[in-house]
Structure 1
Amino acid sequence: MTTNSAETDAPSADLHIHTTASDGLLTIDELPEVADKAGIDTVAVTDHDRIHPELATPVSTKGAVTIIRGIELRVSAGDQRLDLLGYAVRRTDSLIELTTSIQQNRKKRGAAMVDAVESYLDISLDIDIRKGLGRPDIARAIDESDAPYDYSDAFSEVIGSENPCYIQRDIPSFDTGAGVLADACSVIGLAHPFRYPDPAAALKRAEKLDAVERYYPYSGQNADRADPVVIEDVATNADLLLIGGSDAHNRTVGITGPPPADFEPFATRVS
């Protein structure tokens, strides 16, 4: 893995990307082209609660891009739900067992949400009830239907956590999820700390991990309260790696990510 930066603040990598294996639009075959367009040569595929089936090893290359096999695992911290990022994932028995159970629940929950949306909006959605199904898939289907909601409106008015068609899914505890990832991954980090109801409590949990997502494209109220200095202080005190990425669910990657000074220590851990 090499850095690709003409200036120290430019991203060396995008360590948070979703594909069609969960609720993104990118395929593995498209990664070299979009990464080259973004000016980066390293990406991490972090699909929701699932290891990408087309990535055979923890770290691989395709064309000119290095691909780190990762995962984004949602866990319960009691008072709030958090997302953990695992990198250079190995297919351990415990991780396969956990993700298989989660995917079964995701599929069941997805089908129930589709039924709820169709009943609530009196429409029929063109959507495949499959492994990896997530709310972005349902939001895109709503956007493409005859309903008077675009992708953003679907989240804010129909399937968001406070909306009539939202259904909560089953997830492992923080300790269970972190323990399984610790056995399977070279690096575990906390994703987007300022997206949670209680960022301070989330960052306290991060102290038990290897890394924290410092570089992230927050928006709205989350952007207003996001304070990178707070993350950097936690990382310094707990000796955490600083990671980050675009959280791409579309075909645009490299919006943000760790610059060389923060990427190189991470790259050493996963190579």
Structure 2
Amino acid sequence: MNYDLHCHSTASDGMLTPTEVVQRAVEKGVDVLALTDHDTINGLAEAKQAAQDLPITLISGVEISIVWQDKNIHLSALNFDETNENLVNLLENQTALREQRAIQIAEKLAKAGIQNAYEGAKNLAEGEITRAHYARFLVEIGAVKSIEKAFKKYLGQGKSAYVKPMWCTMEEAIDTIHQAGGVINVAHPLRYKLTARWVRRLITAFKEAGGDGIEVSGCGQSRDQRQLLARWAEEFELYASVGSDFHYPTQWLDFGKDLILPSNCKPIWTLWES
């Protein structure tokens, strides 16, 4: 069975609709898929409808933004009851915080000489407005040549249009997902620009707060990176997840691409398939 438990659609900052996400995952040989849009489950109904007539199992997912030690961290939640009242309330609050942040980013871009950025980003967003939509807008108007340069010049931490996030806490996210009957991982642990010591602190705090797993296998990893994450999962007695973090097709990133778990890992899906 091929699993891909981390991807995004136009419900957040992905480039494909939920239907197109499911269709492409099938084309790439994925058997079990989780759509994990940022702080929203608004794409799940469409994705489920698309999956009904295709040879794929779709499970509920969402990538929850948290603030931990003044750092922006993502937790990937899986296989929960999406109608759970506590979960719905948490995501509604996250949506309000995201909208507030989007407005503040536009205000900062205006001070930097870029007008109508909110409207431009909103035109590119079918769902919630994220920094990725601002980056695409900046490319579209010729302010920068690439999405990467948009973050380096304007949107990244410490840059002129950066707005500090005010997301929920790690404990709130973990408790809410567990109340909804789901499981939760630290998403892409090596992509936060943290030292190995800080990543270990993050995983320690996550384990102590009752977290379930970490993403061990992702696209574009080196063998050493994957083995390191597998060792940490084993050391901290956490389950291991896999995910492409798909937003749009690229040469090095696509559904199910190289998502293999080392043999010493306990797959996260055994928690709901046993």
Shared topology, TM-score over 0.5?
Answer: yes
Q: C-alpha distance in 2, partners of 1:258/1:38?
A: 15
What's the counterpart of residue 149 of structure 1?
145
- Note if 1:128 corresponds to 2:122: yes
User: Cα 1:242–1:54, aligned 2, differ >3 Å: closer, same or farther?
Assistant: closer
In the alignment, the residues of structure 1 paired with residue 48 and residue 266 of structure 2 have an alpha-carbon distance, to the nearest angstrom, of: 17
What are structure 1's unaligned runs of at least 5 residues? 4-11
1:164 pairs with 2:156: no
Give 1:110's match in structure 2, choosing from 102, 114, 126: 102
Following superposition, the deviation at residue 268 of structure 1 comes to 3.7
**2:87 aligned to which of 92, 95, 103:** 95
In the alignment, residue 85 of structure 2 is paired with which amino acid? D
Aligned-partner Cα distance in 2 for 1:32–1:60? 7
3-state SS of paired residue (2:6): strand
**Matches for 1:27-46 after TM superposition, within 5 Å:** 27-46=17-36
Aligned residues: 257
User: What's the secondary structure of 1:179's corresponding residue?
Assistant: helix
* Percent of residue pairs identical: 23
Q: Secondary structure at the match of 2:66?
A: strand
Partners in 1 of 2:183 and 2:28 — Cα distance?
A: 24
The Cα shift of 1:163 comes to: 0.8
Q: Is the 2:9–2:18 Cα contact (8 Å) retained in structure 1?
A: yes
Aligned with residue 257 of structure 2, among 249, 255, 258: 255
Q: 1:58 to 1:70 in 2, by over 3 A?
A: farther
Cα distance in 2, alignment partners of residues 95 and 71 from structure 1:
10
Please name the residue that 1:201 is paired with: 201
Alpha-carbon distance in structure 1 between the residues aligned to 2:169 and 2:160:
26
- TM-score, scaled to structure 1: 0.83
Asked whether the equivalents of residues 15 and 244 of structure 1 are also in contact (C-alpha less than 8 Å), the reply is yes
Structure-to-structure mapping, 1:7-46, within 5 angstroms: 12-46=2-36
**2:68 pairs with 1:64:** no
SS at match of 1:21: coil
CA RMSD of aligned residues (A): 2.9
Q: Is the 8 A contact 1:123 1:147 kept in 2?
A: no
What letter is aligned with 1:93?
E
Corresponding residue of 1:86? 77
Find the aligned partners of 1:203 and 1:134 in 2 and give their Cα distance: 26
The TM-score with structure 2 as length reference comes to: 0.82
With a CA cutoff of 8 Å and minimum separation of 6, indicate the structure with the bigger relative contact order.
1
Q: Distance in 1 between matches of 2:140 and 2:238?
A: 42
2:232 aligned residue (201, 225, 234): 234
Question: Once the 2 structures are TM-superposed, how far is the Cα of residue 243 of structure 1 from its aligned partner?
Answer: 0.8
**One-letter amino acid matched to 2:201:** A
Q: Please report how far the alpha carbon of residue 122 of structure 1 lies from its aligned counterpart in structure 2 after TM superposition.
A: 3.2
TM-superposed CA distance for 1:258, in Å, is 4.0
User: 1:20 deviation in Å?
Assistant: 0.9
2:21 counterpart SS class: helix
Shift of 1:260: 9.7
CA offsets per residue over residues 120-163 of structure 1, 9 Å max, x none?
14344422177521111111111111313321100111101121
